Structure 1
Amino acid sequence: MKIPEEGYLLRVFIGESDQWQGTPLYEAIVLKARELHLAGATVIRGPMGFGATSRLHTSKILRLSTDLPVIIEIVDAREKIDELMPHIDVMVKEGLVTLERVQVLKYRANGGE
């Protein structure tokens, strides 16, 4: 799979406990991106954060949260991101979704050219 030098970074900020049809939402989003043949997706779990409600989510032992912040990052061509967006609109009930232009320097598998 080839990504153009100018790609787009989609970031989806949600909570770890968010669900989609009985599955963790972050997992459902990654599987949908894979199904649509996007270049790749990464899920990042944050130790601390807050969102629109200003409720603090933290992994500190005295304030253990069961809903830590999660960020899903997906980089691909704009057309591929646009193909995924209707699914994101339906799946993400609470959270933040951002899109920014990025310069793709390398995208290789197994040392390929």
Structure 2
Amino acid sequence: MKKENKIMVAVSADPEERKALVCRLAIEHGFARTPSDAAKILIQNIYDIDLAGTFFVICDNYNFRGGVITTQRLYELAAKGICVIIGSRSIPREYQFICSAFYPSDFSRL
């Protein structure tokens, strides 16, 4: 899978399904070999990550409405080529152009 310089967002209302999607994306981008390995590097809260010095971001519970500055920082990281994979319930319309959305149906064919 080729990485675009966008925020990769696993979109699902179900938290367990969202976590599985984020883990699947982490595996496809080479950060883990199995879902259990991916779950080990998964961060539950985006504010637990030092965004200034991180090499990748993998978080399964992000709210775009929670912090505009944090969303801007995530996009800056993605634009620089750093892998940003997050899970969210939805993507607001104003952020869709900076995101690549992945839904459960995208992975059902794999």
Q: TM-score, normalized by length of structure 2?
A: 0.28
Q: Hey, which of these two has a bigger chunk of strand by percent? A: 1
Q: Radius of gyration: which is bigger?
A: 1
TM-score (norm 1): 0.28
